[in-house]
Amino acid sequence: MKPMFTPKRRLIASLLALALVGNAAAASASDERESLEMLRETTLNLIDALVDGGVFTREKADELVKAAQASAARSAAKQKAATPATVRVQYVPETVKNEIRDQLRQEVLAQAKQERWAEPNAVPSWLDRIKWEGDLRLRYQNEEHADSNADPLAYIFATLGGSTRATGFLAADNTRGTTANTQDDRDRLRLRARLGMQARVSEEWSAAIRLATGSATDRVSTNQTLGQDFNKYALHVDRAYLKYEPAEWLSLSGGRIPNPWFSTDLVWDEDLSFEGVAATFKPVFAEGAVRPFLTIGAFPIRESNPTASDSRWMQGVQAGARLKLGHRSQLTLGAAMYRFDGIEGELEADPALNFVPQFGQYEYGRGLRQKGNTLFYTDRNRTDGTAPNIWGLASRFRPVNLTASLDLAHFDPVHVVLTADYVKNTQFDRGEMQRRTGLNITDGKDYGYQYRLTVGMPKLENLHDWQASFSYRYLGSDAVLDAFTDSDFGLGGTNLKGYQIGFQYGVQQNAWLGMRWLSAESIDSFAPNTSYRYAVDVLQADVNVRF
């Protein structure tokens, strides 16, 4: 059977009894009657308000009042029997009475807020721990190829030497297959849709999941090109992870997580999510002017699958700090090293035995690469008469990345942000590449850098918010893995240099227009040791909304 008096009702009854008892005990003290009557009326008014709000019925309220009156009568009788001659009321200063009254009111309000029994149309408290977010972007994109670009067949014939950086230009891995576009201009409409949910499970644990458009095999783009015969689009799990934050200075994440590194799109594309685990340490100093951080992570690229293939992993560590330079400026510095294990290619031990499970395990697959990295045929000595079609990375990869960003807020809300990024692959070794591939590759670069100037609001949220930017990029062929770098500049990949200009303007709250012009050309030939070059200009015009 449900008890008549719940905790909140017992609290109200106690307040009412206190008011009634106080009123009876101070019947002969006219100077106290006004204050006690106020307390009684306040309590009765609170009960009426709760009845009107539907917390309990009028019958239950009357029962509370009757029970409080009976309790008050008994207390008054006991007090009168104990002191039949004279009733003395101890003087209570007005400040003390006000303090008691405020304390009781705060306790009632706190319990009402916590239990949500004084809120009309109250929703379950667990809904407050869930946050939804999403965005939509409609984009017009024009791609204008340079007239000096080589015919696609030239890149095919160049690969017959056993090495290339242009497999992204081929529609098939086999050199006798059809080719992709390198000369004709292209116009298209593209759509990006993302929907995410974050749930605060407790003070320390949280979970998140995000769905996005795009291809399941394209990790660096969530764009969906329109013009698919009106077919439906697929939503893929873009992020799904758990986060544990036992202290202000420690955060642990695992699953398919957002980019944990302080970085730019020189190394990591902005749409890239990482699969694995990461931990970030942020010690807090008393003065707060220096906030150091340390991030470590381990991410499987390919699982071990004996006997067909070995595992591939990426490990990373980054140390840095955020420094306050007065009240209006902040400098953020980061130094990172990323290590890729098992990613480089090797010549097949016996190219004729292409039917064994281990055959092709050193491939840098078409679904992984973009373009720009130096590749070679891992089965180029094949003797079975078929065309070679297995590509592997000629170099190993262990890039070191230095990043700095200076945020000047002297004209707040307008910020001026200067960003510099530098990366170098410390494992690029031409002698080792020749021993691995059997090829003498004389060109190619192992470093890259980017400078960017951004002026405007840090985030576009309101009407008339704006942001303008200019950047210059130089990214050598084997400075980073082309699989994970920016997919828009030069239509993706490495071995590219050029500039980018952008402008965004808020047309409503959480709605803005954007335009970017990206001009890129190759640094070295996309066919090693030849003169074949490549250049493309890209115009992007966007309509964005966020909710």
Question: For the whole model, what pTM was predicted?
Answer: 0.77
Nearest to 452 by CA among 425, 420, 478: 420
DSSP-assigned states of every residue in 330-387: EEEEEEEEEEEES-B----S-TT-TTSTTTTTT---TTT--S-S-EEETTTT--SSSP
| Tens digits of residue pLDDT in 82-136 | 555 555 555 666 676 677 777 777 777 776 666 655 566 666 666 778 999 999 9
Nearest to 134 by CA among 197, 177, 205: 197
| Tens digits of residue pLDDT in 447-497 | 999 999 999 999 999 999 999 999 999 999 999 999 999 999 999 999 999
Whether the Cβ atoms of residue 336 and residue 369 lie closer than 8 Å to each other: no
The winner for highest mean pLDDT among 77-81, 95-99, 346-350, 419-423 is 419-423
Structure tokens at 171: 């529609």
pLDDT given at position 408: 96
| Tens digits of residue pLDDT in 163-215 | 888 877 766 555 555 567 888 999 999 999 999 999 999 999 999 999 999 98
What does each C-alpha distance from 399 to 248, 266, 299 come to in angstroms?
30, 12, 16
Amino acid at 409: A
Backbone angles phi and psi of 186, in degrees to 5: -140, 140
What does each C-alpha distance from 30 to 24, 25, 89, 273 come to in angstroms?
12, 11, 11, 75
Helices (H), ranges, 422-515: 430-437
Nearest to 478 by CA among 448, 445, 523, 437: 445
b/e for 264-285, b at 16 or more Cβ within 10 A? bbbbbbebbbbebbbbbebeee
Tell me which residue has tokens 């994970």: 484
Nearest to 252 by CA among 287, 197, 294: 294
Q: What residues have CB less than 8 Å from 352, skipping those under 6 apart?
A: 382, 383, 384
**pLDDT exceeding 70 applies to what percent of the chain?**
78
pLDDT given at position 317: 98
**What's the CA gap between 431 and 445, in Å, rounded?**
14
Domain spans of the chain, in order of start: 7-119, 138-546
CATH number for the 138-546 domain, one of 2.40.160, 3.30.310, 2.40.10, 3.30.70? 2.40.160
Tell me which residue has tokens 């609001």: 457
Structure tokens at 333: 């510095």
